[in-house]
Amino acid sequence: MNNKGVMALGALIGAAIMYGIVSYFIPAGTDQNVELRPDDLQLVALGKKVYDANCASCHGAKLQGEANWRERGPDGMLPAPPHDETGHTWHHPDVVLVALTKYGPAAMAGGDYKSAMQGYEGVLSDEEIIASLSYIKSRWPREVVARHDQINQSAAAQ
């Protein structure tokens, strides 16, 4: 197996494990059948507006995230990660991305986990959340979209 195959397999296994862990924390009643639609141009256009108004100030206008996003700051919180292919957004299945956006990382992780990112429940509708995430996914290179689609398939099989 070549390096790309090993990396893809590792990403799939990691995503499956992460899905199992994180799905344990997804609040009951969360729609498990959500699906991002990066090919729906109307939805993606709405998503860009939602992203620009609610996400870009931290995650960057070009999805680049904040500097040193893997290192906790003096406040103990992680900077906003990139949502482009250099970040870990695409490592999570759609249902996890929607839940993280809706409820916030602190609610998802539980305990005393601290995050600067609020949950957007009551701020954005489910459709606006799906639109913003569909916009993000529409910006990824084809090979990353293909890997993310595989992650969604693996998660659905769980």
Q: What is the pLDDT of residues 136-148, one digit of tens each?
A: 999 999 999 999 9
What is the per-residue DSSP string for 40-88?
-HHHHHHHHHHHHHHTHHHH-TTS---TTTTS--TTS-PPPPP-STTSS
Mean pLDDT value across the chain:
86
Which tokens hold the place of 58?
């931290």
Q: What is the pLDDT of residues 31-41, one digit of tens each?
A: 557 899 999 99
Residue 26 has pLDDT above 80, yes or no: no
Q: What is the DSSP letter of 90?
A: G
CA 91 to CA 15: how far, in whole Å?
A: 6
CATH 1.10.599.10 fits 3-157, yes or no: no
- Place 111 in a pLDDT band, splitting at 50, 70 and 90: confident
pLDDT at 70: 93
Domain edges within the chain: 3-157
| Span 71-99, average pLDDT | 94
Q: What is the pLDDT of residues 43-55, one digit of tens each?
A: 999 999 999 999 9
pLDDT at 21: 46
Which tokens hold the place of 1?
């197996």
- Place 22 in a pLDDT band, splitting at 50, 70 and 90: very low
pLDDT at 30: 52
Give the type of residue at 135.
Y
Q: Within 13 Å and on the Cβ side, how many CA atoms surround 100?
A: 21
| Span 105-133, average pLDDT | 91
